[in-house]
Structure 1
Amino acid sequence: MTDAELLIRSTRVITPEGQRPAAVAVAGGRVAAVLPHDAPAPPGAHDLDLGTDALLPGLVDTHVHINDPGRAEWEGFATATRAAAAGGVTTVLDMPLNSVPPTTTPAHLEVKRRAAREATHVDLGFWGGAIPGNAADLAPLHAEGVFGFKCFLSPSGVEEFPELDHARLTEALGEIAAFDGLLIVHAEDPGHLAAAPSPEGSRRYADFLASRPPAAETEAIAPLIDLARRLDARVHVLHLSAAGALPLIAEAKASGVRVTAETCPHFLTLTAEEVPDGATEFKCCPPIREAANQDALWAALADGTLDCVVSDHSPCTADLKVPDFGVAWGGIASLQLGLPAVWTAARRRGHTLADVARWMSTGPARLAGLDRKGAIAPGKDADFAVLDPEATFTVDPATLHHRNPVTAYAGRTLHGVVRATWLRGALVAEDGDVTGRAGRLIARGA
């Protein structure tokens, strides 16, 4: 351990084996060893004692809409990754839509990389997109290092990223399966959405909820699973909201289908019953559902049916959040708040910080194949989030780093204050202030 330049001690280090007192040695930007709490510091190493503050692996958020370039007034690489760093998130994967151009060709990917290269505060990678007409671009995008491919089964909300019908979904998944890639899917059935009552002109959240029924999710996920089974393909269900789809996913996993699924902090912490009329900062697709549905999502996290919790950070300018649930942009801004939001609810339900780290760091890292991320263990990148689990704070949008101060968490008191964030052994945020820009662009397999 003589080459270690940093030793971080805590009585609560979250390791793959659980929480324990330990000292974590860092050398060359990686975890060199996890030692007993009272281990002596190597000569010349900086010895940092966190006391009872918890040391977690840096969060990995594989579902972030940065919108840059093209809609950078909604969110940009610098602001999004600054919010990530302040919130204990050390790795972000950017979704392929809401930017112009979308990440649907290798040339478009290079446009995104050029925009991001000098702006990122945390490590940043990219998903590719699967849309009608770009099947020939999927293998070249894979070769360029995207982590997988996102598609929609219903309209995405932006014209430059159309949805796939069943024939085009089959074509795209066949192409992706040929190189054992990953397809990540916004799974809502367009027929069920078209048949539901429109919420346009309504301020009532109940009307919006009725427009995105649970059956829209279950009726999209069932044929997706069947197709994955037939093609022996890898598929991942994004932002699962409807608990009725959980038995389908559990059964598919048990039978060997290569399917995974995520949910989001807002589905685990907010409920339909509490959304005020006109409060479109709570609007997202699929929607926040009722408390009983939320209970089932928590149970599915506990039993492994759901693999991870990621933000689906999808911000916009404040003027697009008009108080009409049929017209307002659908998306919740939460990148900086995911860890305390989930911990607040998790601790109340009897879960541990080790559970939260598994859902928000280890699980997303495994999904994306990020072998050096997601755990405090020898050989992993020295990416850490320092959390005071007992401290509370009230969310003030003015203190958040994402570009537009709109969030569904405004005014909520949350448990868990992120004291610091470390990226590959470098301090990048402390007490809400982002202190350094150490982020790199990352690629699948690199």
Structure 2
Amino acid sequence: MSERKIYSKRVWVENKLQPATICFNKAHINAIHFEKTNDAEDFGNVVIMPGVIDVHVHINEPGRTEWEGFETATQAAAAGGTTTVIDMPLNASPVTTTLQAFQEKLDSSVGKMNVNVGFYAGLIPGNTPHLEALIQAGVIGVKCFLTHSGINEFPNVTEKDLDEAMPIIAKYNLPLLAHCELYDTEIDCDFENNPTSYQHYLASRPKKWENDAIDLMIRMCRKHNCPVHIVHVASAEALIKIATAKKEGLPITAETCTQYIYFNAEDIPDASCIYKCAPPIREKANNDQLKNAFSTGVLDFITTDHSPAPPSIKEMETGNLKKAWGGIAGIQFLLNGSWTALKNTMTLQQFIPLVTSKPAKFIKSDKKGSIAIGKDADFVIWNPEKTSIVKEDDILFRYKISAYVNQNLSGVVTETIVNGETIYKNKSIQSKNKGQWLLQK
């Protein structure tokens, strides 16, 4: 591939938006000129920035490819400006808890990666002896649940399991990612008799579950000095706990997801299972605190926790929130959904690192997340000021069911470039299978 040169008045270089021409080939950025060169494609005033990195997605292949799969998930990611995703060890089958299962997942992704893909291992009771082999094979981190995951192949861990596993994970300085909810059998909100009520669902998974689980993970982090990452923080009451742990110097990071800052419980209708996720989307006052936690550094970055399911499993016809699969399909809307949610509370310059350099730091990638000579040629070209209403026809993940349908989002992607190749442009996929595995060295 010959060298390509792209110019805009707003290129994210050296942690600011400024006029620049980026020169790159299939692999890397070769040069940066802080002016428009004669032979550069001129993108005017739209933003050119590093490709978005989503470190929390469920692609579900192999085994549950009818739920999603690498082909559709990575096309949708590219359509949203995301150039790298990290896949969770569930809800694939087999779950990624052994080296053999990891190899099956790698094999299943071949020829289907339209963006770069990394992988997490899973921690479940009894699989601690498998962790070192998985880590040495290149997983980015290890994921566990403190409550039932939703599938029986991936049971939750106990404190005993954490005591066994965390010293091994700490030895390799990888993060242990934790779904933080601790089930309390004393909760009685009569959800059983009100299965289509969102407020009853919300009450069935209170903030206390999340707060208690985060307390546990902070204590275990302190005990083993193992990096801990709190996924999808939804309880604003937990923010002070995370902030205190960080001030103590503990190796703790935390994320929230687009849905927890874009949607609010007050606006969610009953019998609408597209909004069901765990922890649940909480009230506006709570979610406004989550938004403010980015500026203080308590929350490190944003993800989607893309967790799709077929319409029947999502109970789209019945509206039964108690039976429905819990998960938001949102891999395509990390950039524009999050920017829409945050544009009134922060500048674009404050926002960009939350979806680029900060997740890149988390996955220890020195080649992604910023525009500099020698970095990977992954870019998104987009207009943050332009708005667009999401239509079902725009969606490239497998099922066109998503809470983002009919939402008016700020930020329209012009082009997505992965490893120097245009993957998405003019509202369509231009080239396939240009992604690569992202394995920890």
Counterpart pick for 2:49 among 56, 64, 68: 56
Q: Mean Cα displacement is larger for which, 117-126 or 21-30? A: 21-30
Distance in 2 between residues matched to 1:22 and 1:194, nearest whole Å: 59
TM-score normalised by L of structure 1: 0.95
Q: Which amino acid aligns with 2:284?
A: A
Q: Mean Cα displacement is larger for which, 215-224 or 388-397? A: 388-397
* Residue of structure 2 in register with 1:378 after alignment: 373
Counterpart pick for 1:123 among 116, 124, 130: 116
Whether the aligned pair in 1 keeps the contact of 2:83 and 2:418 (CA below 8 Å) is: yes
Q: Which amino acid aligns with 1:397?
A: E
Q: Does 1:227 align with 2:220?
A: yes
Distance in 1 between residues matched to 2:308 and 2:380, nearest whole Å: 23
Distance in 1 between residues matched to 2:204 and 2:336, nearest whole Å: 30
The offset of 1:198, in angstroms, is 5.4
- Give the direction of change, closer, same or farther, for the CA distance of 1:12–1:103 in structure 2 (3 Å limit): same
The offset of 1:337, in angstroms, is 1.4
Whether the aligned pair in 2 keeps the contact of 1:14 and 1:353 (CA below 8 Å) is: no
Q: Mean Cα displacement is larger for which, 154-163 or 378-387? A: 378-387
Counterpart pick for 1:339 among 323, 327, 335: 335
Q: Which amino acid aligns with 1:341?
A: G
Whether the aligned pair in 1 keeps the contact of 2:12 and 2:50 (CA below 8 Å) is: yes
Paired residues for 1:56-205 under 5 Å: 56-191=49-184, 195-197=187-189, 199-200=191-192, 201-205=194-198
Distance in 1 between residues matched to 2:383 and 2:78, nearest whole Å: 16
* Residue of structure 1 in register with 2:21 after alignment: 23
Q: Mean Cα displacement is larger for which, 247-256 or 340-349? A: 340-349
- Give the direction of change, closer, same or farther, for the CA distance of 1:34–1:196 in structure 2 (3 Å limit): farther
Distance in 2 between residues matched to 1:293 and 1:90, nearest whole Å: 31
Distance in 2 between residues matched to 1:185 and 1:432, nearest whole Å: 36
Give the secondary structure class of the aligned counterpart of 1:301. coil
Gapped regions of structure 1 (runs ≥ 5): 42-46
Whether the aligned pair in 2 keeps the contact of 1:198 and 1:326 (CA below 8 Å) is: no
Whether the aligned pair in 1 keeps the contact of 2:419 and 2:435 (CA below 8 Å) is: no
Counterpart pick for 2:8 among 10, 27, 33: 10
Q: Which amino acid aligns with 2:361?
A: R
Whether the aligned pair in 1 keeps the contact of 2:85 and 2:115 (CA below 8 Å) is: yes
Whether the aligned pair in 2 keeps the contact of 1:280 and 1:321 (CA below 8 Å) is: yes
Counterpart pick for 2:388 among 372, 376, 393: 393
1:171-225 CA deviation, whole Å, 9 max, x = no partner? 111221233222000011123x663535235211100000111111110001211
Q: Which amino acid aligns with 1:401?
A: L
- Percent identity over the alignment is 39
Counterpart pick for 2:199 among 206, 213, 217: 206
* Residue of structure 1 in register with 2:350 after alignment: 355
- Give the direction of change, closer, same or farther, for the CA distance of 1:198–1:16 in structure 2 (3 Å limit): farther
Distance in 2 between residues matched to 1:355 and 1:400, nearest whole Å: 28
Q: Does 1:328 align with 2:321?
A: no
Q: Which amino acid aligns with 1:197?
A: C
Distance in 2 between residues matched to 1:75 and 1:366, nearest whole Å: 28
- Give the direction of change, closer, same or farther, for the CA distance of 1:426–1:298 in structure 2 (3 Å limit): same
The offset of 1:318, in angstroms, is 0.8
Whether the aligned pair in 2 keeps the contact of 1:196 and 1:213 (CA below 8 Å) is: no
Q: Mean Cα displacement is larger for which, 31-40 or 360-369? A: 31-40
Give the secondary structure class of the aligned counterpart of 1:309. strand
Give the secondary structure class of the aligned counterpart of 1:60. strand
Q: Mean Cα displacement is larger for which, 364-373 or 194-203? A: 194-203
TM-score normalised by L of structure 2: 0.96
Q: Does 1:259 align with 2:257?
A: no
* Residue of structure 2 in register with 1:414 after alignment: 409
Whether the aligned pair in 2 keeps the contact of 1:121 and 1:439 (CA below 8 Å) is: yes
Whether the aligned pair in 2 keeps the contact of 1:117 and 1:440 (CA below 8 Å) is: no
Distance in 2 between residues matched to 1:330 and 1:261, nearest whole Å: 21
Give the secondary structure class of the aligned counterpart of 2:431. coil
Distance in 2 between residues matched to 1:436 and 1:194, nearest whole Å: 53
Give the secondary structure class of the aligned counterpart of 1:245. helix
Q: Which amino acid aligns with 1:24?
A: I
Give the secondary structure class of the aligned counterpart of 1:407. coil
Q: Which amino acid aligns with 2:325?
A: W
Whether the aligned pair in 1 keeps the contact of 2:26 and 2:421 (CA below 8 Å) is: no
The offset of 1:353, in angstroms, is 2.5
* Residue of structure 2 in register with 1:44 after alignment: none
The offset of 1:38, in angstroms, is 2.4
Give the secondary structure class of the aligned counterpart of 1:295. helix
Runs of 4+ in 1 over 6 A off after TM superposition: none
Give the secondary structure class of the aligned counterpart of 1:263. strand
Distance in 2 between residues matched to 1:11 and 1:202, nearest whole Å: 52
Q: Which amino acid aligns with 2:260?
A: F
Distance in 2 between residues matched to 1:13 and 1:276, nearest whole Å: 40
Distance in 1 between residues matched to 2:400 and 2:190, nearest whole Å: 28
The offset of 1:319, in angstroms, is 1.1
Gapped regions of structure 2 (runs ≥ 5): none
Whether the aligned pair in 1 keeps the contact of 2:189 and 2:203 (CA below 8 Å) is: yes
Whether the aligned pair in 2 keeps the contact of 1:4 and 1:32 (CA below 8 Å) is: no
Whether the aligned pair in 2 keeps the contact of 1:249 and 1:259 (CA below 8 Å) is: yes
Q: Which amino acid aligns with 1:396?
A: K
- Give the direction of change, closer, same or farther, for the CA distance of 1:296–1:174 in structure 2 (3 Å limit): same
Q: Which amino acid aligns with 2:58?
A: H
Distance in 2 between residues matched to 1:250 and 1:34, nearest whole Å: 38
Whether the aligned pair in 2 keeps the contact of 1:66 and 1:75 (CA below 8 Å) is: yes
Give the secondary structure class of the aligned counterpart of 1:190. coil
Q: Mean Cα displacement is larger for which, 233-242 or 14-23? A: 14-23
Counterpart pick for 1:296 among 289, 296, 300: 289
Q: Does 1:312 align with 2:305?
A: yes
The offset of 1:28, in angstroms, is 4.9
Give the secondary structure class of the aligned counterpart of 1:303. coil
Distance in 1 between residues matched to 2:306 and 2:347, nearest whole Å: 24
